[in-house]
A and B are shown apart, each in its own frame.
Chain A
Amino acid sequence: MSPDPLLSVSHLTTVFDTPDGSVRAVDDVSFEIRAGETVGLVGESGSGKSVTALSIMRLVQPPGRIAGGSLSFKGRDLLTLDERTMRTVRGADITLIFQEPMTALNPVFRVGDQIAETLRVHGRASRREARTAAVDLLRAVRIPDAASRVNDYPHQLSGGMRQRVLIAMSLACQPSLVIADEPTTALDVTIQAEILDLLREMKSALHLSLLLITHDLGVIAETADRVAVMYAGRIVETGPVRAIFREPAHPYTRGLLASMPGGRPGRRLLAIDGSVPLLGALPPGCAFNPRCPDRFEPCTAAPPPDYVVGPERAAKCYLHDRQSAVRNPQSAMGTDATR
């Protein structure tokens, strides 16, 4: 039996109210993150992966709002906390690393002061202690010459170094969960490799859990223990990383993996037809059905429920209908009860 998860997201639904009606950016999303593991959340632009991250942090801004579900973190539901209590969790126990390190840092403050501020806001250090701690943190994320870099402004650092500063900041209060939203997308591939190595190292040194959000299946393969694949606001497949890459259960996952360059050079790639649907104009039934090579009658009728497709695996696809259908995705993510 697996231990209680650190974070359990169940039936999370986040909508954006537009003049043309409300749009479900995150639609009935459930998954869990256990202590010490890395969960990869894969999806394309508009799939709802970043809104999922913001929802967990309760940082969704109007016209967006969390319309339902629960976020059970260390035994309490984050959605029921008052804003004041939430503020003690956010940035301390759960932290978020953004994609664009230039916009996430304040350009008019020294990076050391920005790290120190995090510590002081959460009452973890006095002014002087915070200063020393900032240098230690910069050293921990392997910024060379940390004692003088602490006085730099963000523009004086390279993109990779800025991302290291953000990682240092996110680790300042010893969080138990770090959410990294496309942490390496804006970076060059050699710098990306360094940042991923750093995240991995920090994760095991500090016994963190990591929710890594990305569109890059290569990054997922190198980093994640378990994977959740999002498409048009829903999680269409979940499972251990090896199982998903060896035997994808959802046609979307299968299509993504098959479309990657590889095989004999010069051969045509196995592309997925069509394009990502707009959330305001989703097709009836399964949102992937217009692009799906395996589409059959039920696909256009109603959105598919989760089907258990293996140990700790679930997929929202009617192809698996003959196996036992499970309505509760929560249990599909666990090891017991479903088999």
Chain B
Amino acid sequence: MPLVEVSRLVKHFTRDAGLFRARTRVSAVDDVSFSIEQGETFGLVGESGSGKTTTGRCMLRLIEPSSGAVRFRGENVLDFSSRRLREARRDMQIVFQDPYSSLNPRMRARQIVEEPLIIHRLGSRAGRQERVAELFRLVGLNPVHLDRYPHQFSGGQRQRIGMARALALNPSFVILDEPVSALDVSVQAQVVNLLMDLQEQLKLTYLFIAHDLRLVEHICSRVAVMFLGKIVEIGRTSSLFVSPQHPYTRALLSAIPVPDPDAPRQRIVLDPASVDRHVVLREIAAGHWAAI
């Protein structure tokens, strides 16, 4: 049984009617289905507006989906009461893209990491302090700096704090929403390594939401490509990157700038008219599906 199974997830946003405008409905996530196996890193890629972030947030019900199901260990998270959901969230966490805006600037690092433990009433005061220091070491930070405020840390360190907070409740599933794209190039690799180490050490399952395809190719075992709210291709990373089938995936892969001046450049430009949004996914090769 997969750890997480998303089926037919839909999220509409409605835009109210204006003086000269009729009420409109936008399908940010449009009938999205995929499953994530225990211990794997599943990549969700797409450009801005493709619905990848909304999908991630709907899975934790940070945004309420319009319809569909999100099964976590076989149970539909969308059916949970708010009390039950709070319990479930101990096991499913999220790390946000921007470590500059996702940490409360008025809280010390210690409080940021401790807060989830307090909310879930875990441990004694002393026990929590010990756990916070342990988490700090786990993500490669020095507990001596626990009383600093976020602005006293570098971007990479802030993302480590975000990770420590996410791991405070011992989750098994973590959604990483563009975890390194706001960081300096020279520190991205450190944080990527940390994420890979933590996964191995704590047997974590990741949903890795990203637009950096080189990075996705490196760390994800399977990947889904989203385009205008739909998954247009899904499969093992090795298969999908070597033989992309959907015209959008081909265009996307050919657009990545390669850090090699002698690499052959063959730009494939997407003709939006060539994409029929109503085509359903079909299996091209074992485990590799494309909407063509």
Contact = CB atoms under 8 A, between A and B. Distances in A.
Contacts of A241: 261
Interface string A264-277: 01111111110110
B85 interface: no
Interface of A: 44-45, 188-194, 196-197, 215-222, 241-242, 245, 252, 255-257, 259-263, 265-273, 275-276, 291
Nearest to B220: A265
Contacts, number: 119
Contact of B257 (A222, A269, A273, A276): A222
A257 B259 contact: yes
B196 interface: yes
Contacts of A188: 47-48, 211
Interface in B212-256: 212-215, 217-219, 237-238, 251-252, 254-256
Given A189-B255, A272-B186, A276-B154, A197 B267 contact: yes
A202 to B, nearest CB: 16
A276 B193 CA distance: 18
Interface string B255-279: 1111111110101011000000000
A222 B193 CA distance: 27
A161 B261 CA distance: 27
Interface size class of B (residues with CB under 8 A): 35 or more
B284 to A, nearest CB: 21
Given A44-B184, A45-B184, A256-B186, A192 B217 contact: no
Contact of A221 (B47, B156, B188, B261): B261
Given A256-B186, A261-B212, A275-B184, 11 more contacts: A193-B267, A220-B259, A259-B186, A260-B259, A261-B192, A261-B217, A265-B218, A265-B238, A269-B218, A271-B190, A272-B187
Given A260-B259, A261-B217, A268 B155 contact: no
A210 B261 CA distance: 17
Nearest to A218: B257
Interface string B166-190: 0000000000000000001111111
A201 B237 CA distance: 34
Contacts of B192: 261, 269, 271
